[in-house]
C-alpha cells in the first residue's frame, strides 16, 4: 500500500490551490490529489461556454500547476476513509495511507425534486463536470426553446449567454421579485432585470415553476404559478448547490446545519490531521458572524492558501477570519458587484446600518468615449463608521473596484477614513478625482449618521 504525506480529495480550485501552496511550502513531502474526472472546468467560466467561449475545451482547468510542483494526480473515486488507520479506499480497489487528509469535495447542483416532472429527460442542472457540460452544450445547441429555473448568478449568466444565439427563445423563471436578489438590493437588482430583458431573455419574476411538463418521459414545457405554459426542449435548473459531504459524513466528520463540514479558522476538522476546504467546508460570515453557506471559488482559494501555508504547522496567522463573499457579474455589458452586508443582509441579520449612495460615470470628463454610468451604494455601521457592505453598478472597472471595498471591510476601514483616502484617477480609466464615487458615498453615509444623531 502506497503512503503519502498528504492526500487531497477533489480537483477543483480549492483542492488544486491547497496542493500547490502546501507542496511549495513543503517540497520534501509527498502529495497525491484524487479527482473523479480526468478533465476539470473553471467553475465560474461555465456559463460562458454556452456562447462566448463556444466550446467546453476553452474553459478547461486541470491540476497542471500542482503537478508542476511535483504533486501526483490519480483519477479515481474515494469511497471510504478510516481516520483511525489513516487509510482510504477507492473505486478502482486501491488503498492509500496518508499523514494529512484534505477534503476538497466541492458541491453538486440541487435537484429540484419538489417540482413535479423534475426527473423527465431534458431536465438538466449546471453540474461542474467537463463531460456533463460538454453534453449539455450540445443539447442546447439543437434546442429552440429553453427554460432556466432560478435567477441567481449562474441562472442569469446562462440565460444571457443562451439568449445571444439568434435561434433560441430563452425564459428565466425566478420566484423572488428580482434577479440576483441575494446579492443586490431592489434598486440594483431591478437594473439587472432590465439588462436581462434587454439581451432578449423572457424574464418571469415572482413566479414559480409549478410543474415540468413532458410526454413520453421527455420534457416539453413548464407550467408556471401564473397559469402560463411555456414550451421547452430543455429545462435547466440552477436553484443552488449542495456541499458534497457524503464521504466525510460516512467517515465521521461533523457536519453543520448547512450540510457543510465543520472547520476552524485553519480549515481543521474535529479529527486530527483531517482538513476541509472550499464549497464542502463551513463558512462563518465575516460581518454577520453566523454560519453562512457561501460557495465561491474566490473564498475557496483564500481558504486553500491559508490551509496550504499551515498544513504542517501554523506559520502564517489567518488575518481575515470569517468569510466575506464578493460577487461580480456582467449582464449585457453592464457590470454588477457586491460584497458584505448589503441592505437586506443587514436587515435580516439585525445589523444597524446607514447607506451612502452616489452616482457618476466611470471616466472623466464624461465626454470620454467609452464612458459607463457608475453607481455605488455603501453600507456602514452608524456606531463607528466601519464599512460593512457595498453594491456597485457600471462598466468593467467595477470588477476590481469592489475589491477596494472588500479590502476595506476586511481591514475594518471606516467611512471617516475614506475622506482622506488617496486614490489614483485617470480620464481614460476611472471616475474624476473630485468625485471619486467611493469617497463621495462615504461622505453621504457620514451625512446620514449626522442626521440620525
Within positions 20 to 39, which residues make up the interface with a copy of itself, using CB under 8 A? 21, 24
Among 317, 347, 348, 352, binds a copy of itself (CB under 8 A): 317
Instruction: Decide: is 372 part of the binding site for a copy of itself (CB under 8 A).
Output: no
Among 436, 441, 445, 449, binds a copy of itself (CB under 8 A): 436
Closest distance of CB 130 from a copy of itself, Å:
13
Among 84, 217, 365, 451, binds a copy of itself (CB under 8 A): 365
| Site track 386-405 with a copy of itself (rule: CB under 8 A), x = hit | ----------xxxxxxxxx-
Q: Which is nearer to a copy of itself, 26 or 145 (CB)?
A: 26
The CA distance from 20 to 3, in Å, is 19
The CA distance from 59 to 54, in Å, is 10
Q: How far is CA 453 from the centre of its chain?
A: 38
Q: Which is nearer to a copy of itself, 145 or 329 (CB)?
A: 329
Among 59, 90, 267, 371, binds a copy of itself (CB under 8 A): 59
Q: Which is nearer to a copy of itself, 268 or 364 (CB)?
A: 364
> 305: which 3 cell numbers?
492558501
Closest distance of CB 416 from a copy of itself, Å:
6
Instruction: Decide: is 2 part of the binding site for a copy of itself (CB under 8 A).
Output: no
The CA distance from 176 to 288, in Å, is 22
Cβ atoms within 10 A of the Cβ of 180, count?
A: 24
Q: What b-and-e string marks burial along 357-371, b requiring 16 or more CB atoms within 10 Å of the CB? A: bbebbbbbeeeeeeb
Q: Which of 206, 216, 258, 214 is nearest to 115 (CA)?
A: 214
Of 129-137, 140-148, 238-246, 365-373, the window that binds a copy of itself (rule: CB under 8 A) is: 365-373
List beta partners, residue 255: 261
CA angle 270, 275, 277 (to 5 degrees): 120
Among 171, 301, 371, 381, binds a copy of itself (CB under 8 A): 301
326-355: contacts with a copy of itself (CB under 8 A): 326-330, 335, 337, 339
What is the residue-wise DSSP string for 180-194?
A: TTTTS-HHHHHHHHH
Among 86, 178, 223, 364, binds a copy of itself (CB under 8 A): 364
Contact 388, 415 (CB under 8 A): no
261-300: contacts with a copy of itself (CB under 8 A): 286, 296-300
Q: Which is nearer to a copy of itself, 242 or 298 (CB)?
A: 298
Instruction: Decide: is 408 part of the binding site for a copy of itself (CB under 8 A).
Output: yes
Give the position of cell 491540476: 63
- Residue 176 backbone dihedrals phi, psi, to 5 degrees: -80, 175
Contact 214, 232 (CB under 8 A): no
Among 215, 257, 350, 367, binds a copy of itself (CB under 8 A): 367
Q: Which is nearer to a copy of itself, 62 or 259 (CB)?
A: 62
Amino acid at each position: 500500500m502506497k503512503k503519502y504525506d498528504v492526500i487531497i480529495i477533489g480537483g477543483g480550485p480549492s483542492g488544486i490551490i491547497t496542493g500547490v501552496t502546501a507542496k511549495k511550502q513543503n517540497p520534501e513531502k509527498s502529495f497525491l490529489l484524487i479527482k473523479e474526472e480526468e478533465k476539470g472546468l473553471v467553475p465560474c467560466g461555465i456559463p460562458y461556454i454556452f456562447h462566448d467561449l463556444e466550446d467546453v475545451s476553452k474553459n478547461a482547468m486541470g491540476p497542471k500547476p500542482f503537478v508542476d510542483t511535483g504533486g501526483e494526480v490519480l483519477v479515481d473515486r474515494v469511497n471510504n476513509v478510516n481516520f483511525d488507520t489513516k487509510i482510504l479506499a477507492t473505486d478502482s480497489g486501491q488503498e492509500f495511507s496518508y499523514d494529512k487528509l484534505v477534503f476538497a469535495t466541492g458541491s453538486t447542483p440541487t435537484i429540484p425534486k419538489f417540482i413535479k416532472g423534475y426527473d423527465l429527460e431534458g431536465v438538466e442542472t449546471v453540474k461542474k463536470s467537463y463531460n456533463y457540460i460538454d453534453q449539455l452544450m450540445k443539447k442546447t445547441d439543437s434546442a429552440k426553446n429553453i427554460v432556466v429555473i432560478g435567477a441567481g448568478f449562474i441562472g442569469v449568466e446562462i440565460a444571457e449567454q443562451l439568449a445571444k444565439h439568434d435561434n433560441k427563445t430563452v425564459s428565466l423563471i425566478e420566484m423572488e421579485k428580482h434577479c440576483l436578489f441575494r446579492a443586490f438590493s431592489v434598486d440594483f437588482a431591478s437594473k439587472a432585470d432590465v439588462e436581462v430583458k434587454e439581451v432578449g431573455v423572457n424574464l418571469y419574476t415572482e413566479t414559480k415553476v409549478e410543474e415540468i411538463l413532458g410526454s413520453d418521459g421527455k420534457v416539453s414545457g413548464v407550467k408556471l404559478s401564473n397559469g402560463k405554459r411555456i414550451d421547452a426542449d430543455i429545462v435547466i435548473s440552477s436553484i443552488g448547490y449542495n456541499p458534497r459531504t457524503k464521504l466525510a459524513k460516512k467517515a465521521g466528520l461533523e457536519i453543520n446545519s448547512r450540510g457543510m463540514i465543520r472547520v476552524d479558522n485553519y480549515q481543521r476538522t474535529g479529527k486530527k490531521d483531517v482538513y476541509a476546504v472550499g464549497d464542502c467546508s463551513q463558512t462563518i460570515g465575516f460581518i454577520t458572524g453566523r454560519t453562512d453557506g457561501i460557495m465561491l471559488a474566490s473564498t475557496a482559494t483564500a481558504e486553500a492558501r491559508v490551509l496550504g501555508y499551515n498544513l504542517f504547522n501554523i506559520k502564517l496567522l489567518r488575518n481575515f477570519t470569517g468569510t466575506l463573499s464578493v460577487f461580480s457579474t456582467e449582464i449585457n455589458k453592464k457590470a454588477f458587484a457586491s460584497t458584505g452586508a448589503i441592505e437586506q443582509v443587514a436587515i435580516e441579520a439585525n445589523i444597524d446600518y446607514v447607506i451612502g449612495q452616489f452616482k457618476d460615470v466611470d471616466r472623466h470628463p464624461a465626454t470620454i468615449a467609452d464612458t459607463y454610468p457608475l453607481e455605488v451604494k455603501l453600507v456602514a455601521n452608524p456606531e463607528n463608521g466601519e464599512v460593512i457592505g457595498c453594491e456597485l453598478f457600471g462598466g468593467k472597472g467595477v470588477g476590481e473596484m469592489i475589491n477596494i471595498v472588500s479590502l476595506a471591510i476586511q481591514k475594518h476601514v471606516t467611512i471617516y477614513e475614506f475622506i482622506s483616502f488617496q486614490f489614483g484617477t485617470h480620464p481614460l480609466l476611472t471616475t474624476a478625482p473630485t468625485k471619486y464615487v467611493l469617497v463621495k458615498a462615504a461622505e453621504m453615509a457620514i451625512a446620514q449618521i449626522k442626521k440620525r444623531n
